[in-house]
A = this chain, B = another copy of it.
């Protein structure tokens, strides 16, 4: 397992994405930047929780943040993450995980 470092780096990015709320945030931000307060309202969790999710995506290189006045705005830094989901859905079609068969 020689390229261990590389796999660890990749895993860190995928791990950052591997959470329903964080996927929701990425999806929201794919429509344009947004501040923490607005995202918090959409998610419906504590702002501290949302802030931590955003920080995690930022630290993984997926988002960028920018403070403008009192608000901090986040936006996608790597829009290609959205391309993942077609493939992810392909995996889901074999295993939708909730017992309901696919089409």
Interface of A toward B, CB cutoff 8 Å: 1, 3-5, 7-15, 17-24, 27, 42-44, 59-62, 77-78, 80-81, 83-98
Contact = CB atoms under 8 A, between A and B. Distances in A.
Nearest to A17: B14
Nearest to A57: B91
A10 B61 contact: no
Q: Which DSSP category, helix, strand, loop or mixed, fits chain A's interface?
A: helix
Contact of A90 (B5, B20, B80, B92): B80
B12 A14 contact: no
B7 A20 contact: yes
Contacts of A12: 97
Given A8-B20, A18-B11, A94 B81 contact: no
A13 B20 CA distance: 11
Given A60-B91, A77-B91, A91-B60, A10 B97 contact: no
27 contacts: A1-B43, A3-B24, A3-B27, A5-B98, A7-B24, A9-B96, A9-B98, A10-B88, A10-B89, A11-B19, A13-B88, A13-B91, A13-B92, A14-B23, A14-B84, A14-B88, A15-B18, A18-B18, A60-B95, A61-B92, A61-B93, A77-B91, A78-B90, A80-B86, A83-B87, A84-B84, A84-B87
